[in-house]
Chains A and B, each alone.
Chain A
């Protein structure tokens, strides 16, 4: 089974549009949307829901106000500035945990002399398995302002792999998260190939280098494609040169094409329309030889 992860360094380079198109070209793949912060694939793949699950991950500290004596030990120990002091109606100080800032380390819970801090599991989002016209899809939604997106990404990939095995599907196409941090790292480990979608801009060039460094760090084979290459042909060439020097394969270029937005407005993937750049995308798919 082959797993292709499409990432972009910076967002907005057309990563999701390309991933959706590759999923259609693959024909018999499992699709995984690992951009759990801003999952968009479902907007063009029209999934019908098979099953839905809560995503519980990590814990969060909750101080029981009635048991808090206001000693302040927790606030001193917390290294994430998550505990603030409040004044009760009777004038006594109590401490309160800001659930958004809490990283769930448990230090305050363990060292509160009054044992006044609970540590329940926190609901961080949900994940779903759905059917789409190009195969089953695993997708997720991180709760606004929640933590642990890396763990959710790992979970989505694990489910996608399980389904691929059970249903005998040879490929998994993953729409990866942006950036180079925790969720991206979670989306790369153990994949077959990473395809980096970039743009011919100074930002695109800068971010590409960081993403390729990350791929090298994890010993992942990488391929690169420049989207909207004709916005700045000289830059496109320079980026390809650098990518090749960094050991990445060059998979092709996609032209600047308003048809990409037009497809999105019709809730279709680009390759299901007659947009001129469809040829470019097909070439990339053929070149990937997944």
Chain B
């Protein structure tokens, strides 16, 4: 069973939900932090020794002694990552998606592939949670490739929670694809409602079942609840607007540990979503 946690915009409490569900459930599970631009789950789940791997993609390297500047590669590349206009081909590795096309189209076989680092994946056992954290290198644009690397570390023998990046575009889709269920976290404000609608469109686009978790409940109005009722989307959990929660969060503490009265709500939700039929399945 894979549960993905996402939101139309950041800062709605996605990571709070992910780490607290993971800890409160009590059984062993994997938490895949796919918010690779700003991975935060590790801040709330200390402990264990970390092992780190470097993630690379393959990018072209031009052998200048063979390149005659024919320009085939640069005409092919959809991302303008290799340029040759009469002169020897020049690679802009930060724009390369690693598709391998230029290598194949080069008539003189002047291009080969070399690895280029885009970030790291870190693994750590924090209590019941096996945490896998993807971290995109600063200046890299290839979040989707790094997210794929995090998801490739999925342990099929246990349930998994995915902390997805915020938004509605390629990184989110890459993170959420293949999940069995999606929780969308939002706030009871006009921004929250608007972003929720976008997130709902996105998960509908990839046809996954989903529900909503309302964070900071009570801080705004009831438009989100009304929208959910009208759209037939269940709200599975409301986390109240409680300054103590914001303060625990600010110090990097788990809500289910600092404020034990919340523990059972998270544990029940985790059991409901993660211990269903397909548990342990791909």
Contact residues of A between 143 and 196, Cβ < 8 Å to B: 144-147, 149-150, 177-183, 185
A283 within 8 A of B: no
Among the stretches A63-71, A84-92, A258-266, the one at the interface with B is A258-266
How close is A232's CB to chain B, nearest CB, in angstroms? 4
The answer on a CB contact under 8 Å between B171 and A261 is: no
The answer on a CB contact under 8 Å between A201 and B249 is: yes
B190 within 8 A of A: yes
Please pick, from A111, A207, A217, A231, the residue contacting B139 in the complex, using a CB distance under 8 A.
A217
The answer on a CB contact under 8 Å between B38 and A179 is: yes
The answer on a CB contact under 8 Å between B10 and A178 is: yes
Chain A neighbourhood of B54, CB < 8 A: none
Please pick, from A101, A146, A206, A231, the residue contacting B250 in the complex, using a CB distance under 8 A.
A231
Chain A neighbourhood of B12, CB < 8 A: 11-12
A126 within 8 A of B: no
CA distance A11 to B12 in the complex (A): 8
Please pick, from A107, A147, A214, the residue contacting B170 in the complex, using a CB distance under 8 A.
A147
A142 with B168: in contact, given A180-B138, A181-B141, A231-B250 (CB under 8 Å)? yes
Chain B neighbourhood of A149, CB < 8 A: 167, 169-170
Chain A neighbourhood of B195, CB < 8 A: 38, 40
The answer on a CB contact under 8 Å between B189 and A264 is: yes
Contact residues of A between 211 and 227, Cβ < 8 Å to B: 213-214, 217
The answer on a CB contact under 8 Å between A111 and B104 is: yes
Contact residues of B between 84 and 129, Cβ < 8 Å to A: 97-101, 104-105
The answer on a CB contact under 8 Å between A185 and B139 is: yes
A105 with B170: in contact, given A214-B138, A265-B190 (CB under 8 Å)? no
Please pick, from B43, B100, B171, B202, the residue contacting A181 in the complex, using a CB distance under 8 A.
B171
The answer on a CB contact under 8 Å between A202 and B143 is: no
B246 within 8 A of A: yes
The answer on a CB contact under 8 Å between B206 and A145 is: yes
Chain B neighbourhood of A35, CB < 8 A: 9
The answer on a CB contact under 8 Å between A37 and B167 is: yes
A52 within 8 A of B: no
B8 within 8 A of A: yes
CA distance A105 to B103 in the complex (A): 13
The answer on a CB contact under 8 Å between B202 and A145 is: yes
Sampled A-B contacts (5; CB under 8 Å)? A38-B9, A77-B104, A103-B144, A149-B170, A228-B246
Give me 15 other A-B pairs in contact (C-beta within 8 A), A10-B38, A77-B100 excluded. A38-B198, A58-B78, A79-B99, A103-B170, A105-B79, A106-B78, A107-B99, A144-B198, A178-B37, A179-B10, A179-B143, A203-B38, A204-B250, A210-B38, A264-B190
